[in-house]
Structure 1
């Protein structure tokens, strides 16, 4: 069975992560090497994103393509595990200790 990408969900995920990382559509477009309207069209499901642009977006937003598509996988655990691992690697020892305490509480 061939599952199709839900470009509306992908656009929403890109927008959420873009905002979380503090990028405007202009700054993301410039970093990716496309125009602002293309980013807007991707986020609003007016166009399908090419693999090259998706790869650029993932790199600029410091994430993975599997995370951007994670809400479309049957098993999202791997994508979320990878994203958590990526975030934790950037943390200082003190931040990692705090995260461990939070996780233990949960």
Structure 2
């Protein structure tokens, strides 16, 4: 069995938190844990439990497989689902802009 890279998971949590302009305190309050625990998860000083990971993902409005993408064999599907999740609430103008950007890429 391969080992789980909790360091990558912590970094992904931090990236998702920062992308949403949330502090560790914001996430901790939402999840019901200490701010230091969030910090320790992000810096790999402690391993995140499954139940805490789910709560953190809910607080960050991301899927668990998005956070775990480095651990999954087929991570492209996690990224695709996360993209779809992000654009669901876009108005048509933003969707058209995104489509034009995607075609350029």
TM-score by length of 1: 0.94
What do residues 53-89 of structure 1 show as CA deviations (whole Å, max 9, x unaligned)?
1001100100001000112222211100110110111
**How many pairs were matched up?**
105
RMSD between aligned alpha carbons? 1.0
In structure 2, runs of 5+ residues without a counterpart are none
Give distance in 2, aligned partners of 1:93 and 1:3. 43
- Gaps spanning 5+ residues in structure 1: where? none
Q: TM-score, normalised by structure 2?
A: 0.95
Aligned to 1:61: 60
Q: Distance in 2 between matches of 1:94 and 1:51?
A: 38
Could you tell me how far 1:103 is from its partner in structure 2? 1.1
